[in-house]
């Protein structure tokens, strides 16, 4: 039976539900409202897993997220333990190639994976991304630059893009 450790990472910017196995981070997203909702979010993606609320195994992930949200980290080095279909994993890998502080549109991702007509399927794969921020689906916008769907809402998406834009300007 897969054991998943989870905790709500509280910080001044935004709270995050983080979950990991011994192999790596398997979930990052909004925590919802209370422990039972957090567990339901994880169980939906990992049915049958044994969930253990414990901060200690998550400390390396919490450190990287803290550094990112404080503007001291532009990329992540943590191991991931998330899986999807071959198509989803190809899309998620393409997302990881989007530079910090930059955006692309869905058709750019479709072209990156060699499937230029699969724009809608790309959107579905992006929506299935279990590890937000680390796999930066927030960097995908509409072809006209407009804010488009994001599992955790457009306010969080704007926050993350603004954070990266601000930090990118500070680095230059």
Instruction: Look up 137 and say whether it is catalytic.
Output: yes
CATH of domain 3-69: 3.30.160
Catalytic residue chosen out of the listed positions 26, 38, 105, 137? 137
Mean of all residue pLDDT scores within the chain:
92
pLDDT digits (tens, 9 = 90+) for 103-127: 999 999 999 999 999 999 999 999 9
Rounded Cα–Cα distance for residues 120 and 114 (Å): 14
Where do the structural domains in the chain lie, given as residue ranges? 3-69, 86-171
CATH number of 86-171: 1.10.10.10
| CB-based burial label for 56 (10 Å; 0-12, 13-18, 19+) | exposed
- Of the pLDDT bands very low, low, confident and very high (cuts 50, 70, 90), residue 170 is low
pTM greater than the 0.85 cutoff: yes
Position 172 scores a pLDDT of 44
3-state helix, strand, coil in the chain (%, to 5): 40, 15, 40
Q: DSSP letter at 135?
A: B
pLDDT in tens, 51-106: 999 999 999 999 999 999 998 999 999 999 988 999 999 999 999 999 999 999 99
């Amino acid at each position: 039976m897969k054991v998943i450790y989870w905790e709500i990472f509280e910080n001044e910017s935004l709270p995050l539900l983080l979950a990991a196995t011994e192999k790596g981070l398997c979930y990052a997203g909004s925590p919802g409202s209370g422990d039972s909702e957090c567990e339901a979010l994880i169980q939906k993606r990992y049915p049958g897993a044994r969930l253990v609320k414990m901060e200690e195994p998550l400390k390396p992930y919490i450190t990287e997220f803290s550094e990112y949200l404080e503007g001291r980290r532009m990329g992540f080095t943590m191991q991931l333990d998330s899986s999807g279909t071959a198509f989803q994993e190809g899309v998620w890998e393409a997302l990881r190639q989007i530079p910090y502080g930059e955006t692309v549109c869905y058709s750019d991702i479709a072209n990156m994976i060699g499937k230029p007509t699969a724009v809608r399927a790309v959107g579905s794969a992006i929506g299935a991304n279990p590890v937000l921020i680390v796999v930066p689906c927030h960097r995908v916008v509409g072809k006209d630059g407009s804010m488009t769907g994001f599992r955790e809402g457009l306010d969080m998406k704007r926050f993350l893009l603004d954070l990266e834009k601000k930090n990118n300007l500070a680095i230059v």
